[in-house]
Amino acid sequence: MAPRSRRQRHRKPPLSVAPPTVVTPVPLTLPKSGPSIDTLGFFSLEKNVPGLSQVILQKLNMKSYEEYKLVIDGGTPVSGFGFQCPQEMFQRMEDTFRFCAHCRALPSGLSGSKVLRHCKRCRNVYYCGPECQRSDWPAHRTVCQELRLVAVDRLMEWLLVTGDFVLPSGPWPWPPEVVQDWDTWFSMRGLQLDATLDAVIGSHAMTTLWTSVGRPRPDPDVLQGSLKRLLTDALSRPLTLGLGVRALGIEVGKIGGSTVHVIGASHVETFLTRPGDYNELGYMFPGHLGFRVIMVGVDVATGFSQSTSTSSLEPGTIQLIGHRGLYHDFWEEQVETGQIAHPDLVVAFHPGFHSCPDLMEAWLPTLLLLRDYEIPTLITVYSHQELAASLQILVDLDTHITAYGANPFTSLKPEQVYSNPNKQPVYCCAYYIMFLGSSWQLDKRQLEDKVDGGV
């Protein structure tokens, strides 16, 4: 393993390229296998709203963060987790959003007759009184309309969890090269998609949802818009993966199938993920000889972790499997020993290594491994700020960046910063970065080409 020594002696990149977006404001013991982005994210709530993490645990009928983590990892809770009816579930979920967006007061910290009331326009953020709402309006007005969408999507997402909203699926009727973005994808699905959405909007499950929420049911066009945003959110990852396969020239007709490693995977990629969720990747490449997508990360959901296999894939099939742990350890234990195939492509959805030293420390060996072994790699980020910070780190690591920019298959579902509600919402897979090998390897090849060519 020759490149290992170079990885160990490479200097760490400067971490001052962007302000941190994830912090740990309270003492925290990280997993022995490496820092968990889920854990860091949960405890960062305390930075903006002290006491919010405990409110969340209380409303979810949980005794500790360890129990919360067990549930999102796919395990079975040990206490009285659960709700007696859907109405209680939605009410308790909404209660976790109840804090003043201006002064950050929780219900327990209010004095006198003060009561938290939501903004009537977006129904998403709360205020403890008119004074805080007026003071906060200059910040809130810029995001109020988007947060209105967030409030609807947050409830409608339940239909995906219950399986009452099944994504339209099937071979693409258009040539794959024509489908370059969401506009062409929606046009291609056309009548099939309209029929699917109409059926969900008119379903008993939709009626039950809004009855349980205790809110007026939105107009059909609002519900249809939400379903479309949720659809793009669910399909953004497989189609972004396909974008990388296209752009990096991965051979999908290889005998035995193609192997993709999704690294830094968390509960977002693995909890409640169904076998058919990546079928759209296959439809993007008709005639492919199989895709094996292996999710690797310290936060991979328990139920998703399975033994990997080196057996050949059936042509046209997609296999989703997982491994819990750090990628550079997985590489040494599984790839170098020949237990699984060498990856044709590596993808990291929102690795977050730009955000704090702990994550950068964990990601550094993996980034250097990908660079030194010249593995085609795609990374996604949430915002232009994260794009700039991540690019700077990769440049400092001498990676050869082949492409970056706005992702045509970004999720259209806005994501609210939970403990900072008036921060501009972000979108999953909004930008991408692709790299292959290192700049010094490229310079060396160019020099060799000149020598061989007699220049």
Model confidence at 274, pLDDT cuts 50, 70, 90, reads confident
pLDDT tens-digit readout, 288-304:
999 999 999 988 887 77
* Range with lowest mean pLDDT among 76-85, 126-135, 311-320, 379-388: 76-85
Lowest mean pLDDT among 8-22, 32-46, 54-68: 8-22
Of all helices (H) and strands (E), which one includes residue 318?
strand 318-324
* Residue 342 pLDDT > 60: yes
Rounded Cα–Cα distance for residues 369 and 110 (Å): 52
Report how far residue 95's alpha carbon sits from residue 87's, in angstroms, rounded to the nearest whole number.
12
pLDDT of residue 52: 85
Which of 51, 152, 143, 147 is closest to 99 using CA atoms? 51
Whole-number Cα distances in Å, 249 to 20, 171, 191, 253, 410: 34, 22, 32, 12, 21
**Which has more pLDDT, 53 or 104?**
104
Residue 438 bridge partners (DSSP)? 399
Residues of the chain with pLDDT > 90, as a percent, come to 60
d(CA 455, CA 451): 6
Would you say residue 71 has pLDDT above 90? no
Contacts of 246 (CB under 8 A, 6+ apart): 284
Task: Give me the long-range contacts of 70-79 (CB less than 8 A, separation at least 24).
Answer: 72/38, 72/267, 72/271, 72/301, 73/267, 73/271, 73/299, 73/300, 73/301, 73/302, 74/267, 74/270, 74/271, 74/301, 74/302, 74/303, 74/304, 75/302
Interior/surface letters 335-361, b for 16+ CB within 10 angstroms, e for the rest: beeeebbebbbbbbbbbbbbbbebbbe
Q: What is the mean predicted confidence (pLDDT) over 229-255?
A: 96
Q: Check: CB of residue 337 under 8 Å from CB of residue 73.
A: no
Q: What DSSP string runs through 42-55?
A: HHTHHHHSTTHHHH
Tokens of 210: 């809004």
Which amino acid is it at 49? V
Instruction: Give the least confident one: 221-235, 292-306, 355-369.
Output: 292-306
pLDDT given at position 37: 66
Strands (E), 194-311: 258-263, 291-297
